[in-house]
Every structure is written in C-alpha cells, then in structure tokens.
Amino acid sequence: MVEEGYKRYPGRVFRVPRLFGWDFVVSGSSLIAELASAPDTVFSILDASQESLAKDITMGPEAFSHTHLHAIRSTLTRNIGKCFPDVRDEIICAFEGNLALDGDDWKLVPAVPMVLNVVARTVNCLFVGLPICRNQQYLKLVVQFATNVVMGAQFINLLLSFLRPFFGRFISPRERSICKGMKHLGSLIEYRLAQEEALGPAWPGKPNDLISWLLEHATGDERSAHTLVSYILATNFAAIHTSSTAFSHALFDLISHPSYILPMREEADEAVRELGWTKAALNRMHKIDSFFRESQRMHDLGPMTMPRKIMDPAGFTCSDGTHLPFGSMVYVADNEGHFDPVIYENPNVFDGFRFSKMRELRDRAGGIFNHHMVTTGVDHVSFGHGQHACPGRFFAATKLKAMLAHLIVNYDIRVEVDGVRPPDDIFGPVVMPNCTAKVWFRKRQRGT
C-alpha cells in the first residue's frame, strides 16, 4: 500500500489506513528534509513513541530523555575505539559458544536466534560488562523486553486514553523487568553510586561502560539503581533487535551471493595483517561497509520509518500544500529513495560493492565520499535522518562490521538451499529476516 502511495503521489504526502484512523506518509527528498529538520515542537519523535509504544507506561518517562540520548550520542560514541578490544573478545567468544562447531565438519545452525544472542552479548559487553553480559537469564530479559514492550503497548492502546495511566501499569512489562534487572545490576549500580559518593566521579578503577556514562549525565532522582536499570533496558530495546535484524539480513545476502565472500575476506585479512584487530582496521574495510549499506538499502525494518506526531495545535502545512492535522502521525516512505532509479543504477539488483565502487571513483577524483554505512540522507534513512538520526549508529556499524569480518575470516559459510535467499517474514508493516532459516557453518579451511 505504501509503495502504491509513493508511486501514485511521488514527492507528495499520502495517507494509509490504520485500525482507528489514518497515518500520513511523506515521500520525496524535499518533504523528507522538512520532516527531518523540523523542531520537536512541530514534529515530535517522543510523542510518536508515546502514541505507538505507550512509551511512558511501557518504558518509563526517563527512556530517551535528554540524559539518556546525551550519554549515547556523546560518551558512548566517544568510547567505541577504547572499548573495541573488549567488544572484539566478546564477538569471538559469542560466535564460538553459539556455533559450537565440532572439528572441521559443516553444521547447520538456525541463523536468527544465533545472531540475536551474539548481538545481545556484544552490546551488553559495552553496556554492563563481564560477567553479566554472558548471563543467559540477563540476556533473556533484555531480548524479551523489546517484545514485551511492543505487545504490552498493543493492549494498552486498546484502552480508552484516560484509563491508560492507571490500568496500563498492570499490563506494562516495565516494573516486572526492572525488578528482574535489579537482581542482576542492582548491587553493582549501588556500589558505583557509593564509590562516586566517597571518592568523586573519577574514582580509581571506575569501569568504562554505559552505567558509568549514564552516571556522568544523570542528576537528582535519575541517580538511583531503579532509574539506571530502566535506562539500560531502554537502550537494549533500541539496540538489540535493530542490530540483529541488520546482521541477519546481511548474512542472508552473503550466503545467497557467495561470490562476495572472497573479496571481503581478502580485504579483512589484509587490514588485520597491517593494523591488527582494531577499529582502524575496520575503517579500512570499505567493501564490508558498502555491503552492509547495500543490505540495509534493500532490507530495512519496514516500509514506513521516522515516526513523528504533529504537535502544533494549528497542525502543519507541508510545502506541497498538504495540511496535516494536530495530533496525527506522520512517517517517511522508506523504500522510495532506497529504490529510486534516478539515484541508484539497477535499484532492484543487490550490488554489495555499489558504495565502495562509488568511494573509489570519488577518491580518484579527490572528492569527499559520504556514502559510509553511518551516513544518513533523505535518500538513505535506515538510521533515520536529521536531528533524531540514530545516535547509536556509530557503535552499531562498528560491532556489525567487526562481527561480519570475524565471521568471514574464521568460518566458511554456505546457504541451506543453493541460490535461495530465505524469504523475509512480514508482520503487517514490519519486515523481519526469516526467523527459522538455517545456515551452514564450518571452521575456515586454510587455503580458502
């Protein structure tokens, strides 16, 4: 329906039905730029998540607050390079543990659950550190939290709005999940708070993780174990399923186009030989970067992205003259730019090195290349665009590229059925990688 909308009304706004009303969808670069640059008083992302996810009830008012976003956008991003050796160690152990290969034999492994576990361990290595990031009960909690929030919100939104704050609490997973989270993190956070109280914010031996980075920004009531656990659950909500979806799609693209394995393996081998397993080596892996960007271009989270709610009581009139009423929900048509033949040659064909080839051309012409995996634009909205573009994308890109490089350097990979990419699972407006597909793995045979 969204595809039909942007084909019938290119560069315009159109509407699609939902259960009790309509959603608006904008298409075309100038309208997308308008939405991406408008202030929160006009288009609000927080009120949109309140509307679709009952955010304040399911995740709490602190989730995605200024403190939360600031800790991710500035401190987490600044520390990616420093924390990279730990992230890399976790990637090695997580793949080893999940694949559990025996000798040199091939093994058929359900891909999505394996990727989900590796991602959850890897992100939590940065968020809460060892040994909690390997605790299976904790991992189950943070992985299921996202599903419980989405399901809980669906039920809460069926209630009349004035009943939601009271009855929503009984449906919401929030307090139950914080209570479970406190069992894993409570005493650790209390210890950190006590150390800061006694020795100041830069106490010797202070760990470099999300708990410390949140404490750097948190003030007043935010400095409690309860609120910090809530922040950590919300960060996992934003990080785990998005990253594991992106990696699973890239893995399915790789096995269905195996000719990409060798050039990416050679690129990774060479970078690592020269620079070791470092973030600097990852920055050299242009082909892997391009492969992910192409995979995201073709397989995003769904046809509608960047949800916003109209906050101005007078509504908003777009530059094409369409009036969007106060309180309505607006989205961006994701695939329009991603499959635009004016922007991308043969947009329906997977070309894993599309962006690295563009980078080479630009380099030769002495220009500045801006089609990195983390670069957002009106024609590439996998991480959103504008002031609310995903603040975790620098970490996401680093860990996803490190995971893929590790996989192709150390393992041979093969599709289950030759030439067949596992078909996506489609749930209404949400598109997910096939959750039952299996992939063959074996230890890399030297000489390949």
Q: Please identify, using beta-carbon distances, which residue of 138 and 292 lies nearer to ligand HEM.
A: 292
Q: Does 28 sit near ligand HEM (CB under 6 A)? A: no
CB count within 10 Å of CB 100 equals 11
Q: What are phi and psi of 317, to 5 degrees?
A: -105, 120
Contacts to ligand HEM from residues 159-218, by CB under 6 A: none
Nearest distance, CB of residue 366 and ligand HEM, angstroms: 31
Do residues 182 and 218 touch, judged by C-beta distance below 8 A?
no
390 is in an annotated binding site: yes
Q: Which of positions 359-388 make contact with ligand HEM (CB under 6 A)?
A: 382-384, 388
Nearer to ligand HEM, 171 or 331 (CB): 331
Using CB under 6 A as the binding rule, the residues of this chain from 393 to 432 that contact ligand HEM are: 393, 395-396
β-partners of residue 110 are 438
392 sits near ligand HEM (criterion: CB under 6 A): yes
Binding-site string for ligand HEM from residue 41 to residue 70, where x marks contact by CB under 6 A and - marks none: ----x------------------x----x-
Binding-site size for ligand HEM (CB under 6 A) equals: 23
Pairing assessment for the beta strands 425-427 and 21-26 based on DSSP bridges: unpaired
| 124, 172, 227, 235: residue in contact with ligand HEM (rule CB under 6 A) | 235
Q: Which is nearer to ligand HEM, 195 or 208 (CB)?
A: 208
| Contact assessment for residue 86 and residue 95, using Cβ atoms and an 8 Å cutoff | no
CA distances from 371 to 342, 353, 358, 359, 398 (A): 16, 12, 8, 8, 16
Q: Where are the alpha helices (DSSP H) in 136-260?
A: 136-156, 164-171, 174-199, 210-217, 225-256
Phi and psi at residue 24, to the nearest 5°: -100, 145
- Binding mask 238-277 toward ligand HEM (x if CB under 6 A, else -) reads xx--xx--x-------------------------------
Q: Which of 177, 305, 328, 335 binds ligand HEM (CB under 6 A)?
A: 305
Q: Which is nearer to ligand HEM, 113 or 258 (CB)?
A: 113
Cβ of residue 305: shortest distance to ligand HEM, in angstroms?
Answer: 5
Q: Answer for the pair 382, 65: CB distance below 8 angstroms, yes or no.
A: no
Name the nearest CA neighbour of 113 among 248, 300, 249, 299: 248
